[in-house]
Amino acid sequence: MNNHKLTRNLYMVPYAVWILLFVIAPILLVIYYSFIDIQGNFSFANYEKFFTPVYLKMTLSSFWYAFLITLFSLLVAYPTAYLLTKTKHKQLWLLLIIVPSWINLLLKAYAFIGIFGTYGVANSFLEVIGIGTQQLLFTDFSFIFVSVYIFIPFMILPIFNAIDTINPVLLDAARDLGASKWDTFRRVVFPLTMNGVKSGIQIVFIPALSLFMLTRLIAGNRVITLGTAIEQHFLVTQDWGMGATIAVFLIIAMFLIMFLTSGFRKRGA
């Protein structure tokens, strides 16, 4: 019995070391640096600076863009996942949708620069149908479009799994009790897939908050998110303290969202 406990603790060692070195230590470092100002002294200056309109506005716009990206991902992913579960070779179709997520994000971003550029495919098409060349790259539209494109597979997967595990007899039961197709969806299918939707929101919203390469490549720095700001502070202005402070708020936001999307589960359970 004791021996068994010992081996179990032994197995825990790699995990504990990993968590300590790569999760807890970095977070402590981030918190430590957030209290160091640009001259290297301990101060609350960074936090004071965060609550100035410049940074608050940046935070707000970060949340706004992350919200839009999550919303559009969800709007596209839910019906897609729903239709996927109805197809004959659903696992194959799912794989085809997942495959693009294996390609590096930067490669996809560069591909979109080609597509959305002034002489790109998208503009050639607009020219043909008579609308004429438009400025597509470096706009809010292109930023959200490309982000949604990148995040969609991550949103589809948990929703697909949630829909796929619904017992089909429940749908028969709803129909049997007089529910129309819409009633069945609203009262049975959607509530039963809420957990999948929540997982999808977590997987998309939190990374969307800290997107940074896309803001430069696709949005041409016209969209500044918290992620961009952190990158700029660490690599360009070398103000590690301010970068760390923003990171602290990002971490807080992540925990908040985790709490909001999983905390409600108690009511449904």
Minimum distance of another protein from residue 168's CB (angstroms): 9
Cα separation, 115 vs 109, in Å, equals 10
Helix (H, G, I), strand (E, B) or coil at 193: coil
* Residue 3 makes contact with another protein by CB under 8 A: no
Minimum distance of another protein from residue 190's CB (angstroms): 10
From 3-11, 17-25, 168-176, 225-233, span contacting another protein (CB under 8 A): 168-176
Q: Which of 48, 127, 140, 172 binds another protein (CB under 8 A)?
A: 172
- The CB density around residue 157, as the number of other CB atoms within 10 Å, is 20
Task: Please list the residues that pair with 36 across neighbouring strands.
Answer: 42
From 78-86, 104-112, 154-162, 169-177, span contacting another protein (CB under 8 A): 169-177
* Residue 266 makes contact with another protein by CB under 8 A: no
Cα separation, 49 vs 243, in Å, equals 11
Q: Which of 10, 169, 235, 236 binds another protein (CB under 8 A)?
A: 169
Token pair of 84 as six digits: 């996927």
Q: Which of 176, 235, 236, 266 binds another protein (CB under 8 A)?
A: 176
Contact predicate 209/250, CB 8 Å:
yes
From 70-78, 153-161, 175-183, 245-253, span contacting another protein (CB under 8 A): 175-183
Contact predicate 49/35, CB 8 Å:
no
Residues 183-212 that bind another protein (CB under 8 A): 183, 187-188, 191-192, 194
Burial 16-43 (b: 16+ CB within 10 A, else e): eeeeeeeeeeeeeebeebbbbbeeeeee
Minimum distance of another protein from residue 78's CB (angstroms): 17
Cα separation, 130 vs 116, in Å, equals 17
* Residue 265 makes contact with another protein by CB under 8 A: no
Contact predicate 160/85, CB 8 Å:
yes
From 20-28, 67-75, 177-185, 211-219, span contacting another protein (CB under 8 A): 177-185
* Residue 174 makes contact with another protein by CB under 8 A: yes
Token pair of 143 as six digits: 């930023």
Residues at the interface with another protein (CB under 8 A): 167, 169-170, 172-180, 183, 187-188, 191-192, 194, 268-269
